[in-house]
Amino acid sequence: MSAKQPSSVRNRTERAIVTAAVRVWVRDRAATLPQVAEAAEVGRTTLHRYFPERDGLLRAATEHALETIGGAIAEADPGKGHPLDAMRRVVAALASASDAIMFVFGGRSLVRDAAPNPAGPDLPTPHDPVIDLIRRGQAEGVFDDQLTAEWIQQVLWGVAYTAFEQVERGALAKFDVAATVTRTLERGITATAGARPGSEPKP
């Protein structure tokens, strides 16, 4: 790539490659760099200029996937509103980031190999708005305070990932993901006895 090439073009090209890598590797962990180049609609030479080695692209794809998940959660604004409403927004946001979530959770060994930290990327992060939401819901008597916030969050990730897998297999319609995940979560994490007024799920 020429040094005179506008940075905006470079950024768009790099983003197209990284996004394509996530999309391709979600469905085929063994996919080659030429296959990624084809999905990104760039030439092999162009891809190798940006990412000479598979590991470099894998690291970039991992970072992109985690940023996508974090951005989706932030957009859901989980710190506002009734905890159940906020959790429903989070679920809907995660559904919009399904490829990123499947990439991170579906290939933890693949991601671990590419991550600087030998343990791989950690979810939750040190400051996690979903954990904050769950703890707020527990304090308000909405979510079960006999479970840890971390456990409930991992259940959220697991149920969401399972729903995305079902979509890939044709067992669940994509437009049913948010409703299915929400129903599963609310039947499992809403407080039962002694719930505070206003904590009941809406019809």
Q: pLDDT digits over 82-116, tens only?
A: 999 999 999 999 999 999 988 988 765 455 554 44
Residues 6+ apart with CB under 8 A from 124: 130, 131, 150, 153
Compute φ and ψ for 90, nearest 5 degrees.
-60, -45
- Token pair belonging to 10: 């470079």
Answer yes or no: is pLDDT of 31 > 50: yes
Q: Among residues of the chain, what percentage have pLDDT more than 90?
A: 64
pLDDT category at 9 given cuts 50, 70, 90 is confident
Average of pLDDT values for 13-34?
Answer: 93
Average model confidence (pLDDT) across the chain? 83
Query: By C-alpha distance, which of 10, 13, 38 is closest to 24?
Result: 38
The rounded distance, in Å, linking the Cα atoms of 137 and 198 is 12
Q: Which two tokens stand for residue 55?
A: 């590991």
**143 backbone dihedrals φ, ψ, rounded to 5°:** -105, 155
The rounded distance, in Å, linking the Cα atoms of 175 and 64 is 24
What confidence tier does 124 reach under pLDDT thresholds 50, 70, 90? very low
Query: What is the DSSP code (8-state) at residue 195?
Result: P
**Residue 99 · residue 21 · CB < 8 Å:** no
Residue 72 has pLDDT above 80, yes or no: yes
For position 10, what pLDDT does the model report? 76
Range of weakest confidence among 32-36, 41-45, 146-150, 199-203: 199-203
Average pLDDT in the 156-172 region? 91
Structure tokens that stand for 73 in this block: 């959660």
Distance (Å, rounded) from C-alpha 8 to C-alpha 12?
A: 6
**pLDDT > 80? residue 121:** no
| Mean pLDDT, residues 160-176 taken together | 91
Among the listed residues 166, 138, 141, 164, the one whose alpha carbon sits nearest the alpha carbon of residue 152: 138
pLDDT: is 3 or 65 the higher one?
65
